[in-house]
């Protein structure tokens, strides 16, 4: 059974979102997602300053078997990307909620954060998939 | 729901991630595809390949029939037990399937064909056997386990029926032996670029052998590792690198077409012969990615900025820690190559196959 930390928010497409305050959020993929993808071998992170809409394909995570788009959970500007993943893409497998973070956004609409799924709702989605 | 091999329960017990494949439900991996890959390169791994289909061709005309059906020539099987890789072609010179044929004594042969194409192959063989004195017997009653890696043979030998062990110990590469009374068959063949065995036995006996191999330290490996291993070994995958419309000359398999003797008629001969001088002929080459990213099937390959072909098998090489691929391109090797990866042109270069053999990289990085 995969872990779903209660302090985070989630999307249906299996991204997690952490509120860092001041309209900044950190985004990664969930434990369930990394487990489904298998060994991650390459991550394509977005350029800093890129403006993204909600649900826009913003990064790509490639496992041994396939490439998967990572969608922006909220509209905003990319202000950081985890460049460590270039050398250690497997951090997404071993530490999906910490070392495996993918990007940071300055969100356009602060209130939108609360429209994301909470841990209970996301757990429900995972249960339905499994 | 797909078909289950006799080892399906073992896969479930081992926590395999199960995926649909060629009509079957098969293990993709048992935790980490990368670890499974490395285990086969360094030690020993085992694959359930019971979804693949043995087909026995017996009878007075068995040799003549296979000489007519196969692009490679079974007359090359001068010794009992020897194995040969061949394509089964259609009249247009496309590939119906690729297979291994093992010679057995007295006009008997065993083919092993791909899972997803087994029924198509049987129909194709049966449709052409009319005037030949042969019987074609599909053997779904047999299970198959491939044990591969530098330690594979040593770990497998003690677990074989005693009457087969001596023959198995001295088996040369690309040869087979069998214990016919027990329906056990062993080939020193594989699809990984490593030494090892492929074992066939009655389905009911497969779980015990699987468990004994596990106890002997042979790691279970799924289809994921099987694919990265065969790609590193520069081996084609049916449906990706060749298919009904793409023949052996366009798939790097000219070496498997036996042109001599010239008087041997085989299905597709006229078409593949014409293809030799056809200006639209393509070639299959190996690529290694220089830039960052992973090459995937169907991505476009450019030479000096012009599209000249596409990736037919692309992925990540765990041994080289780079992306490698097979690609079908227009003739003329020289030039600067890029691969279009989601709109980005990433530098790549052509390399001689295989990428890896017997645990060792053949490529200068």
Verify whether the Cβ–Cβ distance A67 to B316 is below 8 Å: no
Residues of chain B neighbouring A42 (CB-CB closer than 8 A): 292-294, 316, 323
Instruction: Going residue by residue through chain A, which has 130 residues, state the pLDDT in tens, using 9 for 90 and above.
Output: 689 999 999 999 999 999 999 999 999 999 999 999 999 999 999 999 999 999 999 999 999 989 999 999 999 999 999 999 999 999 999 999 999 999 999 999 988 999 999 999 999 999 988 7
Cross-chain Cβ contact B316/A41 below 8 Å: yes
**B30 and A CB contact within 8 Å:** no
What average pLDDT does the segment B111-122 reach? 97
Note whether B224 contacts A: Cβ–Cβ < 8 A.
yes
Query: Which residue(s) pair with B185 in the sheet?
Result: B178, B200
Domain boundaries, chain A: 9-129
Bridge partners of residue B285, in order along the sequence = B327
Whether residues B34 and A39 touch (CB distance < 8 A) is answered with: yes
pLDDT confidence of residue A129: 81
Please give the order of strands across the beta sheet that includes A24-29: A9-10, A15-21, A24-29, A103-107, A76-81, A51-52
B293 reaches A (C-beta below 8 A): yes
Q: What is the ipTM of this complex?
A: 0.89
Q: For residue A57, what is the nearest residue in chain B, using CA coordinates?
A: B342
Q: Is the C-alpha dihedral spanning B22, B26, B32, B37 positive or negative?
A: negative
Contacts of B32 in chain A (CB under 8 A): 38-39
B126: how many CB neighbours lie within 10 A of its CB?
Answer: 11
**Distance in Å, alpha carbon of B98 to nearest chain A alpha carbon:** 23
Residue contact B316–A44, C-beta within 8 A: no
Structurally, what CATH architecture does the domain formed by A9-129 represent?
Answer: Beta Barrel (2.40)
Q: Which residue of B has its CA nearest to A63?
A: B316
């Amino acid at each position: 059974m995969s872990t779903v930390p209660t302090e985070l928010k989630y999307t249906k497409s299996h991204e997690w979102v952490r509120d860092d305050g001041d309209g900044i959020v950190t985004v990664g993929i969930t434990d369930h997602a990394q487990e489904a993808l298998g060994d991650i071998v390459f991550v394509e992170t977005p350029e800093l300053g890129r403006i993204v809409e909600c649900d826009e394909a913003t990064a790509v995570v490639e496992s041994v078997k396939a490439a998967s788009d990572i969608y922006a959970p909220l509209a905003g500007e990319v202000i950081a990307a985890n460049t460590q993943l270039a050398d250690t893409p497997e951090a997404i497998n071993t530490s999906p909620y910490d070392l495996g973070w993918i990007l940071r956004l300055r969100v356009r609409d602060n209130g939108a954060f609360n429209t994301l799924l909470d841990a209970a709702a996301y757990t429900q989605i995972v249960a339905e998939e499994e | 729901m797909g078909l289950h091999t006799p080892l399906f329960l073992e896969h479930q017990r081992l926590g395999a991630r199960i995926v649909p494949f060629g009509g079957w439900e098969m293990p993709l991996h048992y935790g980490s595809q990368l670890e499974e890959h490395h285990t086969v390169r360094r030690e020993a791994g085992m694959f359930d390949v019971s979804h693949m289909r043995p087909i026995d061709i017996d009878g007075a005309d068995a040799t003549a029939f296979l000489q007519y059906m196969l692009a490679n020539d079974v007359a090359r099987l001068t010794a009992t037990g020897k194995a040969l890789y061949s394509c089964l072609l259609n009249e247009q010179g496309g590939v119906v399937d690729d297979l291994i044929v093992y010679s057995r004594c007295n006009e008997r042969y065993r083919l092993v064909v791909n899972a997803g194409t087994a029924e198509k192959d049987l129909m194709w063989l049966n449709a052409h056997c009319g005037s030949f004195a042969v019987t074609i017997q599909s053997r779904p009653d047999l299970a198959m386990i491939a044990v591969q890696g530098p330690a594979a043979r040593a770990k497998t030998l003690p677990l074989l029926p005693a009457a087969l062990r001596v023959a198995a110990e001295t088996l040369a590469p690309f040869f087979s032996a069998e214990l016919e009374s027990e329906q056990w068959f062993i080939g020193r063949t594989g699809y990984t670029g490593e030494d090892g065995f492929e074992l066939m036995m009655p389905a009911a006996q497969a779980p015990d052998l699987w468990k004994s191999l596990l106890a002997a330290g042979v790691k279970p490996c799924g289809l994921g590792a099987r694919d990265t291993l065969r790609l590193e070994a520069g081996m084609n995958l049916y449906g990706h690198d060749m298919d009904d419309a793409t023949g052996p000359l366009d798939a790097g398999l000219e070496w498997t077409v036996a042109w001599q003797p010239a008087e041997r008629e085989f299905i597709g001969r006229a078409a593949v012969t014409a293809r030799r001088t056809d200006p639209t002929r393509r070639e299959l080459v190996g690529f290694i990615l220089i830039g960052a990213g992973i090459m995937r099937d169907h991505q476009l390959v450019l030479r000096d900025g012009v599209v000249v072909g596409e990736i037919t098998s692309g992925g990540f090489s765990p041994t080289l820690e780079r992306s490698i691929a097979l690609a079908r391109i227009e003739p003329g090797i020289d030039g600067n190559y890029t691969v279009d990866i989601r709109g980005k042109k990433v530098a790549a270069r052509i390399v001689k196959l295989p990428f890896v053999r017997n645990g060792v990289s053949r490529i200068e990085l």
